[in-house]
Chains A and B, each alone.
Chain A
Amino acid sequence: MNLVAGGLGAAIAASGVSGLAAVVLPPRWRAGLVGIGTAAAGVAGAVAGGAALSGQVWRSALPGVLPLAGVRIEVDALSGWFVLLVGGVAALVGVYAAGYAGRTGAGASSHTALAALPLFVAAMLVVPAAGSVSTLLLAWELMALSSLLLVMIEHTHGPAVRSAARWYAAMTQAGFVVILLALVWVAAACGGESFAAIRDAAHGLPGTVRGGVFVLAAGGFAAKAGMVPAHPWLPRAHAEAPSHVSALMSAAMVSLGVYGIIRLGFDLLGGGPAWWWILLAAGGGLSALYGILQAALATDVKKLLAYSTVENTGLILLGVGAAGLFADAGQPGLAALALAAALLHTLNHAAFKSLLFFAAGAVVRATGTRDLDALGGLGRRMPATTAMFAIASLCAAALPPGNGFVSEWLLLQSLIHALPTASDLNAIAAPVGVAVVALTAGVGVAAYVKAFGTGFLARPRSTAAKTAREAGPAMLAAMAAAALGCGLLAVAPGLTAPALSRITSVVGGGPPMAGTTRLRLPGVDAVYSPLLIIAGLAALAGGIAALARVAGRPRRRAAAWGCGNGPQTARTEYTATSFAEPLQRVFDDVLRPEHDVEVSHYAESAYLVERVRFQTRVPDRIETYLYTPLLAAGRKLGRAARTLANGSVHRYLAYGLITLLIVLVAGVSR
């Protein structure tokens, strides 16, 4: 019995049962049992993914499942990587949702919300397992619709939720149309819609068709991955969705966009010319920089995390683009390394981003606010959640010894070692890539110091933060498991080496890395030992702290210095906005923040100020300049199109006749 088939089958069965359970169970049991069912589906999916990564392949055609095309499944190592990722995240999310969704029977614990959750997981498990265009598109659309349902589940909370759902719906459907066009085009050109048929025939296609298909499909997939300029849905949907849904979308769904690009670019089309990958890498680099800058200035904790997702997918796509460039330039070793870096970063990102969203969700549940300027002082009241957010921030900021550092290190290694043997194009692209990664890493550290430092440390800035209570056991268990995952990936990144070398064999060039806790890169001269660094840091810091405690005098607590102005209140603390102000000034030209100062005077004298109102906002410039005109044009077009339909039956009949004639002429002339 094939473990891949068994695991995937069990996952889909568990999802189906959970979905049904959500419909019939009373609110008291609903969230708990559906959560457990979703977690079981996730575990089964992860087992299937692991089996696929260890070399098992499952190909199956189920012609009876769907009319016309049937369902075709093809799970190889690349699929396995993403099935494992989705399964792992889903297992955590299931446990978390059991505690997070609540027992009210409304909102996140309503019938619809809990029925859509396992459906969403099942759809995401099928996307990477699909073996034909129609199966992929079907699962993709199912994934989009179920996630849309989950995004708008709390639509009664305010217009922001509804607006987020509209943005998400529009962008995800636009992306779907583009992917549909591209994949149907390539299937028609290859004379078959199964991946095997496309793989066989794609090499013979003319360059324009291959390029067109790649650009269209990569655009659609990148929109799902949140690449700039198709990113505006992320900060809206991730912020407004319930936190377990945000985690599922940000950690798992977004990475499926990356899967689509890798599957199409490297596997189905078998690589391509340099300009494809330059385009992709440029988009990735731009996303990384723009995303992290917006994250550094965001004061809404979930928006910050969403922009950080834009940054991370940017880095991943930069890695994928670099891999394509190196493969095209005849450097398969470096291509394998860059691809391995990108894939490892998707996994690392999934681990720390689900933990971040879990912790942020716990804070939102406890305080009712996402505004970092109104939080603070949670270290005392929610110690476990604070510790979890600290661990995740360390990983997300790509600091050693976190797991995010490992994949960024791999990416930098692949870019740095490109230089001596590079073509002219790569000799320009590689330093720019390093600069982008480095600047992103630097600003990223500032963003996460801000998120953690102002959100969790020092004094609470609002009564909501003052009365916060620690999250429940299910949520804490999910967070602990996610933290363990981060820790494992940080200490022993080499565990993924065999699986990664199986996947990167698609670009050739041998295994990209070796070792378990001491990472060696066979292609280039580089070593990184996370275990030694963690052990060294822990031993040294622990030793110093213990020595100081034993040998020194006992610690005393006293009020902090308030410049002689008495005890300090939360009003004197730096807020997230003030923390980010210097960075905002430095990147003033890029971000163009809007300030609004309103001074009102007393009626008696213009010299006496009654009150000053100051407002600052950092608008998303890409959104303002790209989408506002687009939406206005769309509205205008819609209004103009209304004159076509004036209610006259004769006119409609004429339209029908003209269309028929055009079709007939087109058919005859062909």
Chain B
Amino acid sequence: MNGWAVAVGQPLLVVVLAPLLIGWMRLIRARMEGRAGAGIGQPWRDLRKLARKEPISPADAGWLFTAAPPVLVATSLLIAAIAPLVATTSAAGGSADLIAVVGLLLLGTVALALAALDTGTAFGGMGASREMTIAALVEPTLLLAAFALSARAGSTSLAAIVNAGVHHPERLVSPASLLAAAALAVAVLADTGRMPVDNPATHLELTMVHEAMVLEYAGRDLALVELAAAMRLSLLLGLLANLFAPWGVATSTGWAGLLIGAAALMVKLTLLGGVLAAGEVLLAKVRLFRVPELLAGSFVLALLAVTASFVLA
């Protein structure tokens, strides 16, 4: 019963929180740049506005263009149901492990890239090409970091990794764990299209990656894509936080624990979002062809994490 509540409650919580997190990050950014900012509810107001507008398909696009936004949201919801964000006791948690979650994230990326190619515009193709190049290089880092983490817990199951962190907090500060955290952080930035890999606020053709892919979307299609992008950011930041700082995550079936878990998740997202937003103000975007160097760096970090988890175990 409790497990199903987690499996249904987590996606709902992520849907509600994700746009607020975006609003919070934009607010931080605005304040640091000396602007007043629009308040943290603005992304939700934008989504409401977009949802009421009519969707427009390019003349040459086929079924993939219309199918991609729901698929993208569905993958995010499914990951939210599986991942140990509030509690490790999700009823859906046993259906997929860390590797499958990485695969589901990639499935969402692929759906959007194909939709971008389906528009037949140069921007769509450019965005898809860049996004797939980055995704191809992020995947190894994600999986190697997963390897380092699961070596610590003896399992690739996300719940098991978080549980191991809760019960053996001393292992969280091991070199392997810290290296994996650094590697995963870079991969998360690349995967969610944040600075310094991609600039979520740009519409300059030389630099767009994610925005180039979604350029043809309008109305409720765009609302779904934006919601999914926000959810992916919340999901990945939440996962990153819980994998390396699992404090507050409910590991047993108690309603009080769930409430604490939800509160802890919100605190972690607020903190991480704040740090990320502050970092984005101070960082410049890296040139597209320097991104592989950054990702190669994180790949090496992940490889070192694996080696350290074996040598220093």
Contact = CB atoms under 8 A, between A and B. Distances in A.
Contact of B216 (A397, A417, A427, A560): A560
Contact of B119 (A400, A412, A458, A542): A458
B114 A449 contact: yes
Contacts of B57: 555-558
Interface stretch (A111-119, A197-205, A355-363, A544-552): A544-552
B140 A438 contact: yes
B138 interface: yes
Given A409-B100, A526-B156, A548 B224 contact: yes
A562 B119 CA distance: 11
A335 interface: no
Interface in B173-210: none
A552 B52 CA distance: 7
B122 interface: yes
7 contacts: A453-B128, A527-B95, A548-B220, A574-B126, A582-B130, A583-B132, A586-B292
Given A528-B97, A560-B59, A561-B215, A541 B70 contact: yes
B103 interface: yes
A564 interface: no
A586 B73 contact: no
Contacts of A400: 96, 100, 103-104, 107
A553 B117 contact: no
A454 B124 CA distance: 11
B244 to A, nearest CB: 19
Given A559-B59, A574-B117, A537 B71 contact: yes
Most chain B CB neighbours (cut-off 10 Å) among A397, A438, A459, A552: A438
Given A431-B144, A554-B54, A579 B125 contact: yes
B70 A545 contact: yes
Contacts, number: 265
A137 interface: no
B125 A559 contact: no
A457 interface: yes
A562 B129 CA distance: 19
Contact of A416 (B135, B138, B156): B156
Counting contact residues on chain A (CB < 8 A from B), the size range is 35 or more
Contacts of B310: 419, 422, 427, 431
B100 A525 contact: no
B289 to A, nearest CB: 6
Interface in A367-383: 376-377, 379-380
Interface in B49-78: 51-64, 66-67, 69-71, 73-75, 77-78
Contacts of A377: 60
Given A416-B151, A445-B110, A561-B216, A525 B77 contact: no
B106 interface: yes
B147 interface: yes
Interface in B102-136: 103-104, 106-107, 110, 113-114, 117-126, 128-130, 132-133, 135-136
A568 B124 CA distance: 13
Contact of B120 (A548, A555, A573): A573
Interface of B: 51-64, 66-67, 69-71, 73-75, 77-78, 81, 92, 94-97, 99-100, 103-104, 106-107, 110, 113-114, 117-126, 128-130, 132-133, 135-140, 142-144, 146-147, 150-151, 154-157, 160, 215-216, 219-220, 224, 288-289, 292, 299, 303, 306-307, 309-310, 313
Q: Which 10 A-B pairs have the closest CB atoms?
A: A574-B125, A458-B120, A442-B139, A453-B117, A540-B74, A560-B58, A438-B143, A442-B136, A438-B140, A529-B95
B33 to A, nearest CB: 29
Contacts of A214: none
A253 B70 CA distance: 40
Interface of A: 296, 376-377, 379-380, 397-400, 405, 409, 412-413, 415-417, 419-420, 422, 427, 431, 434-435, 437-439, 441-443, 445-446, 449-450, 452-454, 457-459, 518, 524-529, 532-533, 536-537, 540-542, 544-545, 548, 552-562, 568, 570, 572-574, 578-583, 585-586
Most chain B CB neighbours (cut-off 10 Å) among A296, A419, A529: A419
Contacts of B74: 536-537, 540-541, 544
A529 B137 CA distance: 27
A548 B71 CA distance: 13
A548 B51 CA distance: 9
Most chain A CB neighbours (cut-off 10 Å) among B54, B96, B137, B307: B96
Contacts of B215: 561
B140 A574 contact: no
A641 B119 CA distance: 62
Given A431-B147, A525-B155, A528-B96, A457 B114 contact: yes
A610 to B, nearest CB: 26
Contacts of B94: 518, 527, 529
Given A431-B303, A446-B136, A585-B289, A578 B129 contact: yes
Contacts of B224: 544, 548
A536 B59 CA distance: 31
B261 to A, nearest CB: 22
B121 A561 contact: yes
B155 A524 contact: yes
Contacts of B56: 555-558
B54 A453 contact: no
Contacts of B138: 442
Contact of B96 (A296, A454, A529, A581): A529
A459 B52 CA distance: 30
Contacts of A417: 154
A445 B106 contact: yes
B203 to A, nearest CB: 12
A573 B133 contact: no
Given A435-B299, A555-B56, 8 more contacts: A526-B97, A528-B95, A528-B97, A529-B95, A553-B55, A555-B55, A560-B119, A585-B289
A574 B155 contact: no
A582 B220 contact: no
Contacts of B99: 409, 412-413
Contact of A533 (B61, B78, B123): B78
A380 B60 CA distance: 9
A379 to B, nearest CB: 4
B121 A568 contact: yes
